[in-house]
């Protein structure tokens, strides 16, 4: 079979599950990430209900968009440096269920685990643990726990906890807690981590507990957000028991003491609700009532019905989204795991977005980057357009802050989106690889274009998208200039492109091409609105003070955009001076010196011809209709040699372009790297959270790469091939209200219109009519 099975996998291959078959505390931090649950709002790391001593992992509970902020201190500050940090808070741990058997605490680090299995169930949206444990004093129990975070109600989570005394009858104590004694990680030596937030960021205002429920009310010191975490507990046992409530400085606790009988299972179901003021708009008692009400309602609903709703939701998700790979179970597992985590991490309320590590860890402090627009949105776009819209609505929600930032950066008009943020304000504390990445503006604009192209959602375009397009276009018009020595072309100086191993360059090719796309599309949409939505257009013009001359300026800048190109080498230059740098001495760089960024001063890296990640190659993909195949091949060949892929955002892009230019082996190798990057912990840092962009990249590798799918302008086109060693792969595409099934195997590519109106697509440039629902059209593929 394929090369994916050479290395013994960390988790055994399985179609729909991620399974851990033995407990090894040394891998605990990594497993906490792998087994994390989330619903786009709440995120839980895969910690154990009974907990582990500090140092083994991070008891992480995160709420999308719930952050604390503090002034950033620079040893040498300058004007308009980002002012305040934003850190996604580790909030109240509601997972805690402690177990005592005749006063022996259950603890997997002591006693004997007779059997153990943990399973992340991708179809059910459940995390399950089953184990048999013998206590130090020789008592044996069976424990089964199941937990879920509801996809259908973003405030809710639940844990089903069953303990059975196998070898004894006697006293069993189950302690269910809300634990507010939580802090964020602090790490100053790794630029990829590093929250400066020390101590307890959440201040506890009130705790309450009664015989089944409890509550912690808290607030943040600086952002002033309020949070209420409420629990309800439901004990099911045929034996006598007592329950008692208590509180401490940081906790709210319910203790059940059961006279347990050998062989008789005891079940505790715990329902948890998180309600935050910045999300609900409520505060004080109203917020507390909301949280209690949510927890109580969940208890009334019961775990079985919550689990059923979860499974129904996921069935629908997979029905539209699943990718089936026949002939490679390792990749099949990897790609499903990745899609599952993408679903778990995406904010879908229009106020939150997708952090670089999802809701699975504290890496990058929970910040939103361009990862969303360039990596994540393509995935959702063709599966869940409604989530895509919500992700773009988030950008619209921070447009005023982006306008403010543009003014601060000396642009009289337009908006400048922040490089990294939660609340919309820039919080990148190293501007050469932060604010200088102006391309974020064009990335957002391209997401708008792609969304509109794939959905024809003109309502969104007119009411939200156009404003984003116009304000980003304005920024480019102000940022760039016509430079006489560059043939009076429109140049954009002093920016950093996607590749962070170059910084503060002139005419980053990716940036200029993307800006051109932004300007052109903004211009096109302005003219279209004048014709088709004149009232809305005039209202928008009035709102943002748009002048007619600006439209001409956008068109002129786009038409005259400078594109750095070396005619002798027939290469696009990553920037004006990329080819003037000395190639990095890869031959004499020891393996342990990668990633370069933690072994060389930025000056050393910036001085050399070396890329952390796809930059020009990313343009070859995103703007694929602007390059010939020859150009793509030539530039790929050049840039591949100088790229370290030190960024997890790199491999998938190289895979996609390799597919297109016929480098199928390379495409496969890069895909391998992406599909199981986190499951196999290639970068050794899964403990800090999953690599969300790469996870979405997996989907792109397959759909945009292997299947060659593109929709640059109106038409959906595919050029599928079958990777060696595979029997078949299939996926579905949502496009303009249609659902299209695509299956690729030795016989060819089969296209099936599953839902919606007839549509003409392209297959290797040939028109294919999908006229009848469920009819399959098979087209030959290249050998």
Catalytic residue among 373, 500, 517, 660: 500
- Pick the binder of a copy of itself from 23, 27, 56, 81 (CB under 8 A): 81
For residues 619 and 446, what is the distance between their CA atoms, to the nearest angstrom? 12
CA-CA distance, 552 to 158, in Å (whole number)? 57
Residue number, 33 or 435, with CB nearest to a copy of itself: 435
Residue 67 interacts with a copy of itself (CB under 8 A): yes or no = no
User: Pattern of binders to a copy of itself over 181-210, x per CB under 8 A?
Assistant: -------xx-x--x-x--------------
Question: Binding of a copy of itself at residue 600 (CB under 8 A)?
Answer: yes
Cβ-contact 602, 594 below 8 angstroms: no
The contacts found for 188-196 with CB under 8 angstroms, 24 or more apart, are 190/598, 191/430, 191/597, 191/598, 192/363, 192/364, 192/685, 192/688, 193/362, 193/363, 193/364, 193/688, 194/365, 195/85, 195/87, 195/362, 195/365, 196/70, 196/72, 196/85
Closest approach, Cβ 72 to a copy of itself, in A, equals: 5
Residues 424-483 that bind a copy of itself (CB under 8 A): 428-432, 434-436, 479, 481, 483
Find out whether 629 and 644 touch, Cβ atoms under 8 Å: no
- Which member of 198, 326, 599, 641 binds a copy of itself (CB under 8 A)? 599
> How many residues bind to a copy of itself according to rule CB under 8 A?
55
CA–CA distance, 566 with 73 (Å, rounded to integer):
43
38-57 burial, b for 16+ CB within 10 Å, e for fewer? bbbbbbbbbbbbbbbeeebb
Q: Is 285 in the site for a copy of itself (CB under 8 A)?
A: no
Residue 459 three-state SS: helix
- For 387, which DSSP code? H
Tell whether residue 603 is a contact of a copy of itself (CB under 8 A).
Answer: yes
Residue among 396, 419, 537, 606 that touches a copy of itself (CB under 8 A):
606
Pick one of 6, 542, 567, 582: the residue that binds a copy of itself (CB under 8 A): 582
Site string for a copy of itself, 520-559 (x = CB under 8 A): ----------------------------------------
- For position 581 contacting a copy of itself by CB under 8 A, the verdict is yes
Q: Which residues pair with 742 in a beta bridge?
A: 731, 751
Which helix (DSSP H) or strand (DSSP E) does residue 245 occupy?
A: strand 241-247
Q: Which residues pair with 218 in a beta bridge?
A: 204, 227
- Contact between 511 and a copy of itself by CB under 8 A: the answer reads no
Are the CB atoms for 367 and 359 separated by under 8 Å?
no
Determine if 577 is a binding residue for a copy of itself (CB under 8 A).
Answer: yes
Residue with Cβ nearer a copy of itself (282 or 589) = 589
* Closer to a copy of itself by Cβ: residue 184 or 310: 184
Among residues 631, 574, 635, 658, the alpha carbon closest in space to that of 608 is found at 574
Nearest CA to 513 out of 627, 367, 668 is that of 627
Instruction: Mark out the alpha helices in 560-623 (DSSP H runs).
Output: 602-607, 616-622
**76 binding a copy of itself? (CB under 8 A):** yes
Nearer to a copy of itself, 79 or 281 (CB): 79
**C-beta of 107 vs 478, nearer to a copy of itself:** 478
590 binds a copy of itself (CB under 8 A): no
Determine which residue in the list 6, 78, 249, 587 makes contact with a copy of itself, applying CB under 8 A.
Answer: 78
Asked if 597 touches a copy of itself (CB under 8 A), the answer is: yes
**Shortest Å, Cβ 82 to a copy of itself:** 8
Determine which residue in the list 1, 7, 25, 77 makes contact with a copy of itself, applying CB under 8 A.
77
Which of the ranges 95-103, 307-315, 574-582, 647-655 carries the binding residues for a copy of itself, by CB under 8 A?
574-582
Question: Could you tell me the smallest distance in angstroms from the CB atom of residue 221 to a copy of itself?
Answer: 19
In whole angstroms, the minimum distance from the beta carbon of 651 to a copy of itself comes to 23
> Between 54 and 485, whose beta carbon lies closer to a copy of itself?
485
Tell me which of 1, 604, 776, 782 binds a copy of itself, using CB under 8 A. 604
* Interacting positions 683-742 with a copy of itself (CB under 8 A): none
40 with 154: CB under 8 angstroms? Answer: yes
Q: Is 79 exposed, middle or buried (0-12, 13-18, 19+ CB in 10 A)?
A: exposed
**Nearest-angstrom CA–CA distance, 208 and 422:** 31
How does DSSP classify residue 115? Answer: E
Q: Which of 567, 697, 730 is nearest to 621 (CA)?
A: 697
Q: Give the chain's radius of gyration (CA, Å).
A: 27
Active site residue 130: no
What crossing angle do the helices spanning 439-455 and 466-479 adopt, rounded to 10°?
150
Q: Which helix (H) or strand (E) covers residue 61, if one does?
A: strand 61-68
Judged by beta carbon, residue 385 or residue 564, the one nearer a copy of itself is: 564
With respect to a copy of itself, which residue has the nearer C-beta, 87 or 237?
A: 87
Please choose, out of 282-290, 501-509, 522-530, 739-747, the segment that lies near a copy of itself by the rule CB under 8 A. Answer: 501-509
Using CB under 8 A, which residues numbered 358 to 417 contact a copy of itself?
408-410
Report the interface residues with a copy of itself, using CB under 8 A: 72-81, 85, 188-189, 191, 194, 196, 408-410, 428-432, 434-436, 479, 481, 483, 485-486, 491, 493-494, 503-504, 506, 566, 576-577, 579-582, 597-604, 606-607
Kindly list the catalytic residues.
Answer: 500
């Amino acid at each position: 079979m394929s090369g994916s099975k050479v290395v013994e996998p960390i988790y055994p291959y399985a179609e729909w599950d991620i399974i851990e078959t033995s407990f090894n505390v040394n891998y605990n931090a990594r497993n906490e990430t792998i087994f994390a649950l989330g619903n786009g709002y709440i995120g839980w790391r895969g910690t154990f209900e009974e907990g582990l001593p500090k140092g083994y992992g991070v008891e992480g509970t995160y709420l999308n968009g719930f952050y604390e902020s503090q002034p950033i201190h620079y040893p040498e500050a300058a004007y308009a440096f980002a002012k305040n940090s934003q850190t996604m808070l580790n909030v109240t741990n509601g997972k805690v269920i402690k177990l005592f058997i005749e006063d022996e605490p259950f603890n997997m680090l002591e006693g004997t685990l007779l059997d153990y299995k943990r399973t992340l169930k991708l179809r059910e949206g459940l995390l399950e643990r089953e184990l048999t444990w013998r206590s130090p004093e020789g008592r044996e129990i069976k424990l089964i726990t199941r937990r879920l975070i509801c996809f259908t109600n973003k405030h809710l989570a639940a844990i089903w906890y069953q303990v059975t005394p196998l070898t004894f009858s006697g006293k069993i104590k189950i302690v269910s807690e809300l634990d507010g004694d939580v802090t964020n990680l602090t790490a100053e030596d790794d630029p990829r981590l590093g929250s400066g937030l020390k101590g307890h960021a959440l201040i506890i205002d009130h705790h309450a507990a009664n015989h089944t429920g409890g509550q912690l009310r808290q607030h943040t010191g600086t952002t002033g957000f309020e949070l209420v975490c409420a629990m309800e507990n439901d004990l099911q046992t045929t034996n006598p028991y007592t329950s008692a409530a208590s509180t401490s400085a940081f906790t709210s606790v319910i203790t059940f003491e059961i006279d347990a009988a050998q062989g008789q299972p005891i079940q505790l179901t715990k329902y948890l609700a998180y309600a935050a003021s910045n999300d609900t708009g409520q505060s004080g008692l109203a917020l507390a009532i909301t949280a209690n009400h949510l927890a109580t309602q969940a208890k009334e609903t019961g775990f079985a019905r919550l689990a059923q709703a979860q499974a129904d939701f996921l069935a629908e998700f997979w029905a539209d989204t699943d990718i089936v790979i026949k002939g490679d179970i390792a990749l099949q597992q990897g790609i499903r795991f990745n899609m599952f985590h993408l679903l778990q991490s995406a904010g879908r309320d229009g106020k939150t977005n997708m952090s670089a590590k999802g809701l699975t860890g504290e890496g990058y402090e929970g910040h939103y980057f361009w990862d969303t627009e360039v990596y994540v949105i393509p995935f959702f776009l063709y599966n869940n357009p409604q989530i895509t819209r919500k992700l773009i609505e988030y950008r619209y929600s921070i447009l005023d802050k982006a306008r403010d930032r543009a003014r601060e950066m000396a642009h009289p008009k337009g908006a400048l989106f922040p490089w990294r943020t939660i609340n919309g304000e820039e919080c990148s504390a190293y501007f050469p690889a932060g604010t200088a990445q102006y391309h974020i503006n064009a990335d957002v604009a391209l997401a708008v274009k792609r969304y509109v192209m794939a959905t024809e959602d003109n309502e969104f375009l007119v009411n939200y998208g156009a404003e984003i397009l116009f304000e980003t276009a304005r920024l480019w018009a102000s940022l760039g200039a016509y430079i006489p020595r560059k043939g009076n072309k429109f140049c954009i100086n002093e920016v950093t492109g996607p590749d962070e191993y170059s910084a503060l360059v002139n005419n980053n090719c990716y940036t200029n091409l993307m800006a051109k796309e932004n300007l052109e599309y903004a211009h096109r949409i302005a003219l279209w609105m004048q014709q088709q939505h004149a009232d809305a257009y005039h209202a928008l013009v009035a709102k943002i003070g748009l002048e007619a001359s600006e439209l001409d300026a956008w068109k002129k800048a786009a038409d005259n955009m400078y594109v750095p190109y070396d005619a002798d080498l027939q290469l696009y230059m990553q920037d004006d001076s990329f080819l003037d740098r000395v190639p990095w001495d890869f031959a004499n760089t020891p393996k342990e010196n990668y990633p370069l960024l933690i072994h060389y001063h930025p000056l050393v890296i910036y001085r050399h011809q070396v890329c952390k990640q796809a930059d020009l190659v990313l343009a070859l993909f995103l703007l694929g209709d602007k390059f010939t195949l020859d150009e793509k091949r030539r530039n790929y060949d050049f840039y591949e040699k100088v790229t370290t892929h030190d960024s997890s955002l790199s491999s998938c892009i190289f895979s996609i372009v390799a597919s297109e230019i016929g480098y199928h082996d390379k495409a496969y190798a890069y895909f391998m790297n992406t599909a199981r990057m986190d499951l196999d912990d290639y970068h050794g840092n899964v403990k800090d959270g999953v690599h969300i962009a790469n996870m979405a990249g997996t989907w792109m590798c397959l759909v945009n790469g292997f299947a060659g799918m593109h929709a640059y302008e109106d038409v959906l086109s595919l050029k599928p091939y079958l990777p060696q060693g595979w029997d078949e792969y299939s996926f579905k595409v949502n496009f303009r209200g249609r659902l299209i099934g695509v299956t690729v195997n030795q016989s060819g590519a089969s296209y099936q219109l599953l839902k919606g109106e007839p549509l003409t697509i392209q297959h290797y440039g040939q028109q294919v009519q999908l006229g009848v629902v469920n009819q399959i059209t098979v087209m030959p593929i290249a050998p």
